[in-house]
Every structure is written in structure tokens, then in C-alpha cells.
């Protein structure tokens, strides 16, 4: 073998994995079906927030190479699948990328190889979907090759926790498979945590995100009735945080976004319904609450305008920040999109500003970030803070705006409205 590992899928999960493995001295090949991604990486260009062009240059110096040639997979001792699993129409994961990557590995599978799935999915995928495909050529998982699941825990934009210092859960098809996968990750991850098996590892990831999903829904629902009762929920949360045990703070917002929270809990709900025939009620209620937050924020915006006898129809609303997290360019599942659509349906002219997003597609309409923020603030009937990027001086922005609606609970300027 000429490579320690081949990483299939060179996005926000696969690239950080390749980076840490290469830094630890492993020989790494990156495989992707996207020619532009592969060519860009081989020329030293990054396409993800967490890695700069300098990081890619370092990766290349360590011997990393990206390729669209699947025969390179046969050169590796281990293959790690890091492809996306978007939400399918039936509420479950769209496994087509996983199936395609697995078939690609199956054509190059050799005795002694380790195959690990990192893509988030429902419990049973590794054993029931990935394993049969890999075994079609006659090799048997757990005997001729090792098979495991290790959930990705990448948090884009997190300055503290990354691939190396975030504990890595690993669950193998057999105890021996777990040991093999744990030894592999132990070469470049500080802490490896063995799971009982693949299903436990798959479910652990879903529990992590379902926990957040449900608690965000709790505070989102509280935001609605606290507003009606004249209670400052943001202050309530700060007070609750003073308890040194038994409480973890979650915060309301215009909706949930990203690759995990709005999507992953649905995989668990889908699996429960499909296999057991009854709903996972906590998840479905949380989804209902969180999915309606953009519409709620739009109604609150309408109320703010109505207080000054201004109709939503024909008004100009400036949205600040359209990414799903602060200080990154990632827009996946950002609540800014359904919020903008709702405002447009209500007749508003929507403009936006985001230092990380030059152009923004909303329902087929391409918007361009305003270049003169001061002018945009002065002319907008309402300025709506959707994402609090660190470059924003929120109180100064609120002071310059005609009306300011803060959905992130950070403004202290008098006269501004908060969710």
C-alpha cells in the first residue's frame, strides 16, 4: 500500500480529517467526484471556511493529493466516507451519495482494508446498507476487512474544538473492527471513545443533535409567550445560567440552520416511524416549532412597522447576516432564506448585508450584498439582525437605523426591539 488513508468527500468534514491525518505523518489521498474541488485543492485553493489556502499548501507539502481517479482507493489501508447526507423528501437521509461512495470503494476493496462511514445517517445504515455493498465482491466484513462507523463532529467556525481535540466516537461491526478503527483514529485524534457497535455510534450523533434541537425549540416557544407577557427572556436565561448545575443555556433565534440541527433529528424520527410505526413526538414537535420561527419573526417585523403606521407591503427591510453561524460563509439551511421569502411574500423589498456573502440566492432571485451599509441603514424602514457577525457593532448599527429588530439578543441600544 502506498497510502495510509483515502478520504472520500473533500468538504467541511473530509478536509479537516485529511489535514490532521497528514499533520500526524499519515500519507493521505483525497477522492472527490467534483473536478473543480479536486483541481482547486491540487492548486492550493480552499473551498471551506475552516481551512485557508495556507492550510491547503501545508497539506500539499505533507504529500496530500486530491484525485477523481477511483483506482487510487486501492492504494490505501483505510477508506473514510465523508460525503453529505441531505434530507430526502420522505424525511429520511438521502443515501445516494453514501451508496455511490460505498460502491466506489467496493470496486477497489482489498483484504485487510478498513472502511469507516462518517456521514450522519439513521441507525443501521453501516450494517444494512454499506456492508452488503462492500461484500458483493466476496470479501466478508469483520473477517476479510474491517468496517466501522465514526460520527463526524466538525463544528465549522469553532476556534476551540477541531478534528484533533474533539473526542472521536468509534463503533465497529465487531469488537475487532472497533479496535482497528480506534487505532487508526488514535494516530491523529487526542481521544478515541469506543462504542458498543455501529448502531450505538450512529445513534450517539443523532442524540447529540436531537438534544440541541429540542432545547432550542423550548426557548423559541418561550420567546413567543415571554414577548406577549412582557418578560425579557434574554435576562431570564442569564439568570438561569447562574445556577452551577442542572442547567445549560440555549437561546432563541429566527430559526435553526446548518448541516446538523435542522436535519439530523429527522433521521431518528424517520427511523422510529419506519421501523416501529409510531412518531418520535419530541423531535416532531421541536421541528414544528423551529420551522415556524422565520414566519414568527416576519410577523414581529410587521408589528414593529405597524406601530409607526407603516405597511409591510412596499417597505424596505435590511437583513444583516444571512449565514447559519456567525463569522463563516456557510449558508446551509440558514433561516435567513425562509425569513426573506416570508418578508417578500408579505410585500417587502428585502435587501441584505453580509461581509462573508457577496451574492445570495433567495427563491431564484439573486441579491447582492449592499456595499454602503450606512446608506442602507438610513434608507431601510426596518433593519433586522439575523446573524451577529463579529464585524458588526450592533449598538452603533441600531443607533443609525430607523428601526432595529434584533433576533440574537445582543443589542443594548434604547429603542431597539429584541426577539
Write out pLDDT tens, residues 25-61: 999 999 999 999 999 999 999 998 889 999 999 999 9
Buried b (16+ CB within 10 A) or exposed e, 373-407: beebbeebbbbbbbbbbeebebbebbebbebbbbb
pLDDT at 126 over 90: yes
**Rounded Cα–Cα distance for residues 415 and 352 (Å):** 22
What structural domains and CATH numbers belong to the chain? 3-196 (3.40.50.720), 219-224+251-418 (3.40.50.720)
Q: What is the DSSP string of 44-94?
A: T---STT--HHHHHHHHHTT-EEES-GGGGGGEEEEEE----PBPTTSSB-
Whole-number average pLDDT of the chain: 93
Placement of cell 419573526 in the chain: 297
Task: Determine if the pTM surpasses 0.75.
Answer: yes
The whole-number pLDDT of residue 399 equals 94
C-alpha cell at 375: 446608506
Q: What is the pLDDT of residues 88-112, one digit of tens each?
A: 777 778 899 999 999 999 999 999 9
Instruction: Say whether 82 is catalytic.
Output: no
- Selecting among 82, 177, 226, 260, the annotated active-site residue is 260
Amino acid at each position: 500500500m502506498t497510502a495510509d488513508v483515502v478520504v472520500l468527500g473533500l468538504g467541511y468534514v473530509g478536509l479537516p480529517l485529511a489535514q490532521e491525518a497528514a499533520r500526524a505523518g499519515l500519507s493521505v489521498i483525497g477522492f472527490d467526484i467534483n473536478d473543480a474541488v479536486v483541481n482547486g485543492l491540487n492548486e492550493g485553493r480552499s473551498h471551506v471556511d475552516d481551512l485557508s489556502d495556507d492550510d491547503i499548501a501545508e497539506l500539499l507539502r505533507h504529500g496530500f493529493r486530491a484525485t477523481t481517479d477511483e483506482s487510487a482507493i486501492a492504494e490505501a489501508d483505510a477508506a473514510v466516507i465523508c460525503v453529505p447526507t441531505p434530507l430526502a423528501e420522505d424525511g429520511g437521509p438521502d443515501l445516494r451519495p453514501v451508496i455511490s461512495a460505498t460502491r466506489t470503494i467496493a470496486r477497489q476493496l482489498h483484504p485487510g482494508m478498513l472502511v469507516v462511514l462518517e456521514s450522519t445517517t439513521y441507525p443501521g445504515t453501516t450494517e444494512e446498507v454499506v456492508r452488503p455493498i462492500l461484500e458483493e465482491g466476496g470479501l466478508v466484513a469483520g473477517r476479510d476487512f474491517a468496517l466501522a462507523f465514526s460520527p463526524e463532529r466538525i463544528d465549522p467556525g469553532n476556534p476551540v474544538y477541531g478534528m484533533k481535540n474533539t473526542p472521536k466516537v468509534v463503533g465497529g461491526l465487531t469488537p475487532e473492527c472497533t479496535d482497528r478503527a480506534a487505532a487508526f483514529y488514535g494516530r491523529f485524534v487526542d481521544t478515541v471513545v469506543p462504542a458498543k457497535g455501529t448502531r450505538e455510534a450512529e445513534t450517539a450523533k443523532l442524540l447529540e443533535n436531537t438534544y440541541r434541537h429540542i432545547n432550542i425549540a423550548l426557548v423559541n416557544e418561550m420567546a413567543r409567550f415571554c414577548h406577549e407577557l412582557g418578560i425579557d427572556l434574554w435576562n431570564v436565561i442569564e439568570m438561569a445560567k447562574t445556577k452551577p448545575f442542572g442547567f445549560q443555556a440555549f437561546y432563541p433565534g429566527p430559526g435553526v440552520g446548518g448541516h446538523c440541527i435542522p436535519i439530523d433529528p429527522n433521521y431518528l424520527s424517520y427511523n422510529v416511524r419506519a421501523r416501529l410505526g409510531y412518531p418520535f413526538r419530541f423531535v416532531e414537535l421541536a421541528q414544528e416549532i423551529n420551522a415556524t420561527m422565520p414566519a414568527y419573526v416576519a410577523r414581529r417585523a410587521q408589528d414593529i412597522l405597524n406601530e409607526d403606521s407603516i405597511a409591510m407591503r412596499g417597505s424596505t427591510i435590511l437583513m444583516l447576516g444571512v449565514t447559519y453561524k456567525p463569522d463563516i460563509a456557510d449558508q446551509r439551511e440558514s433561516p435567513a432564506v425562509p425569513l426573506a421569502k416570508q418578508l417578500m411574500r408579505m410585500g417587502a423589498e428585502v435587501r441584505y448585508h453580509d461581509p462573508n456573502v457577496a451574492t445570495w440566492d433567495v427563491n431564484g432571485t439573486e441579491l447582492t450584498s449592499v456595499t454602503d451599509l450606512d446608506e442602507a441603514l438610513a434608507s431601510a424602514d426596518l433593519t433586522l439582525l439575523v446573524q451577529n457577525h463579529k464585524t458588526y457593532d450592533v449598538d452603533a448599527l441600531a443607533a443609525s437605523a430607523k428601526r432595529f429588530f434584533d433576533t440574537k439578543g445582543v443589542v443594548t441600544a434604547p429603542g431597539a426591539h429584541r426577539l
